[in-house]
Amino acid sequence: MPLFVTRTARTGRWLWEWTKSIAAALVVWFLVSTFLVQAFRIPSGSMERTVLIGDFLFVNKLLYGAEVPLTQKHLPAVREPRHDEVIVVRSPVEDLILIKRVVALSGDTIAMQDGVLFRNGLVVPEPYVTLHRVAPTIDTPTADRMRRWQLPFLAKSAAEPYRPDLRNWGPLVVPPDSLMALGDNRDESLDSRYYGFIPRRNFRGAPLFIYYSYDPSSWRPLSFVTAVRWRRLFSAPF
């Protein structure tokens, strides 16, 4: 057999083995990222101090039942979300993935008075929450939208004088197969106060740990190396 034929055959076998290895790796990556764990980058400060802009974390998609691609179905959940957990959800009003904290589940009565959260009539301790010294204001259209979505769930009998704002609203009764989620950086968070309860089909998972973090505000060449927040690596955002 000529030498060049032997070399061609060996090269062909080598390329085939590499192709199979790459294809298998891609299949494993697809299955893992679709059904088990997915990387997520924090793009905003709505959950500071719990998670920061520049944090990169892994999300457990299996916990609440991963979505099957190209369908509207989910795998069976390991368990359902719990009070005060950090959760990853799809926004009910736009195509965004959000990270927020669960403040109320189906059947709960939830309210806020002067920035203090009440769940089922009891104050919810929130040591992780950040509030500005001066309460934020909202424009009239935003206030009207808040009032419109909240009215059907209002526990009060007299709805006419009801005028919610970001720190005073409710009490609201959470409907079935839904939850309410707020940001820890309460005055800088676009959350359930604005767009309403989050339906069960929008649950995406729970954060596992921060695998990388850097400070984007101290930008310089190679800042992704020089501005690493080493103490945050492998910490759990709870």
Q: Which CATH number goes with the domain that contains 87?
A: 2.10.109.10
CB atoms within 10 A of CB 50: 20
Segment 193-221, tens digit of pLDDT: 999 999 999 999 999 999 999 888 876 66
Give the chain's domain count. 1
User: How far is 196 from 159, CA to CA, in rounded Å?
Assistant: 17
Domain assignment present for residue 238? The answer is no
Q: Is residue 2 part of a domain?
A: no
Q: Domain for residue 67, yes or no?
A: yes
Whether 121 is in a domain gets the answer yes
Per DSSP, the three-state class of 6 is helix
The pLDDT, as a whole number, for residue 30 is 55
| Residue 195 domain-assigned (yes or no) | yes
pLDDT of residue 220: 67
**In a domain? residue 237:** no
Active-site residue flag, 21:
no
State mean pLDDT over 13-25: 69
In a domain, 157, yes or no: yes
**What pLDDT, on the 0 to 100 scale, is given for residue 3?**
47
Q: Which amino acid is at 91?
A: S
CB 57 within 8 A of CB 209: yes
DSSP output for 51-81: S-TTEEEEEESSTT-PBPTTSS-BPPPS---
Say which residue, 158 or 226, is predicted with more confidence.
226
Tell me if the bond preceding 49 is cis, omega within 30° of 0. yes
Residue 53 belongs to a domain: yes
User: What is the C-alpha to C-alpha distance for residues 21 and 23, in angstroms, rounded to an integer?
Assistant: 5
DSSP notation for 119-186: ETTEE---TT-B--SS-----HHHHHHHHHHHGGGB--S--TT---BTTBEEEEEPPTTEEEEE-SBG
pTM for this prediction = 0.84
Q: What angle do CA 182, 110, 171 make, to 5 degrees?
A: 125
Residues of the domain holding 108: 8-232
Whole-angstrom distance, CA of residue 64 vs CA of residue 78: 6
Catalytic residue among 61, 73, 91, 100: 100
The residue annotated as part of the active site, out of 20, 44, 46, 218, is 46
Question: Which residue reads 């704002």 in tokens?
Answer: 165
Q: Is 46 one of the annotated active-site residues of the chain?
A: yes
